[in-house]
């Protein structure tokens, strides 16, 4: 019976390892987007920013600051949001106030990873935010990946929102 227990633990460990798919490292995404190694900067989340981020996410957000990378007017954001049960790590490159690239970097769910493909992520190209913090376009869903689609849409909205905040802050100083 002991052998069975150890085998079960080993088997569960294998399933956990299979569930996480690393498609690109965050460092590689940042280098690809900005063309060189750039040191991270930080945006502090004051009450207003935190409230807006929580509004986009539709759940509490318990961070005081977020890292981002910037070269001239371009920013890169590495953000995570829960799909159904596990975080999805996404890289968003914002240039000229529009999404220049969206890439699923690490996917940890057991299903719904179709959101990593270009046929889906290309829908975000050139997207901007409207005054209601919504994307300026409709994003088509994927059957069986509804929660992953929602997660990427929320992450995209947050990246654009934070990019705009960083730009406003820099213009004000």
Question: Over 70: is that where the pLDDT of 124 sits?
Answer: yes
Does a structural domain hold residue 9?
no
Structure tokens at 25: 């490292």
Does a structural domain hold residue 28?
yes
% of the chain with per-residue pLDDT over 70: 88
Does a structural domain hold residue 93?
yes
Domain boundaries, position 73: 21-172
> How far apart, in whole angstroms, are the C-alpha atoms of residue 44 and residue 166?
10
pLDDT of residue 36: 78
Question: Over 80: is that where the pLDDT of 117 sits?
Answer: yes
Residues in a beta bridge with 133: none
Does a structural domain hold residue 105?
yes
Q: Which residues 6+ apart lie within 8 Å of 159 measured at CB? A: 75, 77, 79, 92, 94, 99
> How far apart, in whole angstroms, are the C-alpha atoms of residue 41 and residue 148?
28
Does a structural domain hold residue 2?
no
Does a structural domain hold residue 16?
no
β-strands 74-82, 87-95 pairing: antiparallel
Please name the helix (run of DSSP H) or strand (run of DSSP E) that holds residue 28, with its range, or none: helix 26-34
> How far apart, in whole angstroms, are the C-alpha atoms of residue 148 and residue 115?
7
Does a structural domain hold residue 80?
yes
Instruction: Flag whether the pTM goes above 0.85.
Output: yes
> How far apart, in whole angstroms, are the C-alpha atoms of residue 30 and residue 15?
30
pLDDT of residue 172: 80
Kindly indicate the confidence band of residue 51, based on its pLDDT and cuts at 50, 70 and 90: very high
Does a structural domain hold residue 41?
yes
β-strands 40-44, 65-71 pairing: antiparallel
Sheet holding 65-71, edge to edge: 21-22, 98-107, 87-95, 74-82, 65-71, 40-44
> What's the number of domains the chain is made of?
1
Q: What is the pLDDT of residues 65-92, one digit of tens each?
A: 999 999 999 999 999 999 999 999 999 9
> How far apart, in whole angstroms, are the C-alpha atoms of residue 93 and residue 31?
11
> How far apart, in whole angstroms, are the C-alpha atoms of residue 24 and residue 84?
21
């Amino acid at each position: 019976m002991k052998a069975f227990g150890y085998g079960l633990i080993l088997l569960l460990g294998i399933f956990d390892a299979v569930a996480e798919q690393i498609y690109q490292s965050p460092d590689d995404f940042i280098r690809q987007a900005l063309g060189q190694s750039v040191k991270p900067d930080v945006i502090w989340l004051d009450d207003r920013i935190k409230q807006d981020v929580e509004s986009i996410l539709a759940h509490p957000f318990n961070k005081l600051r977020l890292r981002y990378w910037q070269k001239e007017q371009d920013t890169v954001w590495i953000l995570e949001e829960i799909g159904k049960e596990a975080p999805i790590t996404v890289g968003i490159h914002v240039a000229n106030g529009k999404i220049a690239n969206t890439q699923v970097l690490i996917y940890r769910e057991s299903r719904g990873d179709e959101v990593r493909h270009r046929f889906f992520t290309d829908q975000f190209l050139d997207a901007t935010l409207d005054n209601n913090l919504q994307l300026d376009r409709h994003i088509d869903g994927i059957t069986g990946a509804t929660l992953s689609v929602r997660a990427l849409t929320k992450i995209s909205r947050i990246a654009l929102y934070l990019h705009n905040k960083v730009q406003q802050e820099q213009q004000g100083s």
